[in-house]
Chain A
Amino acid sequence: MTDKIKKASRHTIQNEGLIFEKSSPGKRAFDLAPLDVPAADPAKALGAEYRRAGVEGFPEVSEIEVLRHFTRLSTWNFAIDLGMYPLGSCTMKYNPRVNELVARLDGIATEHPYQPQELSQGCLKILQLLEKSLLEITGMDAITLQPSAGAQGELTGLLLIRAYLERQGNARKKVLIPDSAHGTNPATAVIAGYQVESIKSESHGQIDVDKLRELVTEDVAALMITNPSTLGIFEERMPEIAAILHGKGALLYMDGANMNALAGVARPGDLGVDVMHLNLHKTMSTPHGGGGPGAGPVAMKKILEPFRPAPILVEKEGGRLALDFQRKESIGKVKAFGGNFGVLVRALAYLLAYGPGLRQATEDAVLNANYIRKHLEDVFELPYNLPSMHEVVFSDALQKKNGVNTMDIAKRLIDYGFHPYTTAFPLIVPGALMIEPTESESKEECDLFIDALRAIAEESATNPELVKTAPHTTRVRRLDEVAAARKPVLRWKPAEKRSESAD
């Protein structure tokens, strides 16, 4: 079977223990310049009440050991830099390196959020240009760059809706969420003080508009919609959905996780969306970094503008930029010190590289997803067959007959040199294979991926055991998650010293 694996071969990987296990007293990896002021004696100044002797158990190693330790660890990771990372809903696209460089410039990385605004005009100009660019892409009227990531963006969006409705005299009770939505949506709605009501998708995976019409009452504050949905399908009746909500005084929230299918092609603002968040770590290529940091700006229509988190960016006479903290109707702050500026810088660098050519990225992303769909739809079941946008969702129904499930196929993909697709999602597709190639993959990489999945589909029929026990070529095999959860070991502890009195 290995002859089918074209992309990957074996390579020696080094072992490496925990840093604490390499520690030896007296070694160090960091020197400070000598103290150039009189040394204060903390023992005297602080006394025993406040002073600690030292951090027990902290590592003591040299510089080369630190570098090797983390470099070795890094080789155990898969990454976009190594190849296709088709995690549906996560938009794992190329992270341009110039973005890293500019975020680290002196005068950018070094700036303090409380420094005088007249010494921050460069930072504020960056924020202003990013705001304008994101408004153009989304077709909205106003924006806040403060939220730390998508989930906080969702919360900010719902709090804006709440504040707006409260001003109308009734915050209302419920938020409607389609059953295909990401799990964050319901969790967020609860934190915003709303009850969640789920809407079943109709048989094609779209929102059931008739059902929606029934459910939207004066109690409903908003519908949280993901468009394209988590099935990678565009909600064709979006403007009608918006009209139903607006007819009852409710608002339309859009989860912008899938903006990579729309940027430059269609604008949520034109489709009737009132408020949405963007995941800059998805659509705007800021690095995921193993799970963050992100940034989750929230764009909105004019009616929600007065409620934006403070401070907001304003342009004064003569083009001078300033932060306005005096916002009476603001929902408050969702994060200290403004947004994740370093992430915002990278997002702007990304947009500057494309300019209006951003549309080409969207087109290529959709082209890749459809190309993969076309070449796999005869070997994997396609539970919803409306046109795909930036991702395609198959199910493992055909492979299940041989006892092979989506997780097995995903793990086997690792042996073929690819990161798995998303398996646990969306909930309305049991055994989902959620594939989002993004625009960053060449035709060649897509072809290799298609070959790999076709080969695995064949293996699932001819040698299911091989698939079920995958991966076979990784540094560790499948890990015992049950043991990890039953008896959690969440930190290293020094080996128990043998008590002298013990026999």
Chain B
Amino acid sequence: MTSSSSSSGRRVAALASLALALSATGCGGASRTAIPDATGAAPPPTRLRVALYPPQNASGRPARVKELEQGLELALRARGVEVVAGDAVRRALAARRIRYTGGLDRESAAAVRDGLGVEAVFIPTVLLDDPAYPPRLAVDGRLVSAADPPAILWEDGVARGGADYPGWFSQGIVSSIGALQGQVLSDLAGSLSEWLDGKGAPRPGCDAIRPRIAYRSRKLDVAGLRTVAVLPFVNQTTRRNAGEAFELQVLRELVATGQFKVVEPGNVRERMLAGRIIVEGGASLDAARVMGEALGADVLLAGFVRDFQDPPAQSGPPQVELGVQAIDGRTGDVLWWSSSRSRGDDGVFFWGIGRVSTAAELACGVSRGIAGRMAGDRPAPAPSGPPSGARSAPADDSRAAGGVGTP
């Protein structure tokens, strides 16, 4: 082989490796690689040991819960998170006869802490699982400390459609649900991993949609962290679990503002069951006072989901509509009242650019608009990871507020 041919061979090899690297890293959001190689990612010694709960299905239709659970376990392990999952978790829950896995109350926290030796529980929720072309998937994840009382440490969500980033000549379209699942779960696990390392704040990529009409009391301007208990949202749609799906989005965005300390929904549920409180038509003053005292909450947030549609892909845009009221837990005064509504094609002017493909992403935008306005449009504090000494003392009040960086 001549020197010129060997140099051209080297050039070809370099070009090929560059192309490979480009295809692996992915140009644009749609072609992100799936689960990264786990070999190089050694878990840092301060990381929490996490139990992975079976995913909740809030999609209103059958979902591939088992596959998603396995995929999430792999994705978390690949990111170096120490996970206890599958049969071990189920056995521990069955031993204490715990059936509710949508949140963590004191009893469940004690069960997983003693039975599995974990410091936190990862609670995933499937908001949409549509394998039809183009596939769409939306998953929310919440990390709750297994302390007494349990507190939200971190929450994030990823909602994506296979045709969100079509790219040139539709090369970016993801046509298989498996590939999309890899991207979504990898992003979710990556977000948690970054937060555990103190590198980034959980913040799903959606634009804030401001409420159309809103009342905001000046009492919300009073300095200091407010404790908010989000009551179960009333579902006025025909879709099952729309209330839970929207509630998680609002909860996440409230946590992300860094201005509110949000009570874990498992705690709220436990207190409501204990007090036999039903909020069918909204929270009454009595209910607000009882819940406020029991949970130590300054603000009670009630919501009414009037629309949460995820029509089959290409048959129409998703739509969401939400009414939210916040009541002072001590005086019963209305602190916030808003009405929000949005459609997936609201921001489209031509060629479908700016179209939102899932109701979960729309709900994320609506929730961000509400949370941001409630917080007085103050910027979120700088991101930080879990508090120091998380292993030894997983429960303290400063941490509860903060998944996103309360010092």
Question: Are A and B co-members of a single complex?
Answer: no
- Residues of A at the B interface (CB closer than 8 Å) are none
Q: Which residues of B contact A (CB under 8 A)?
A: none
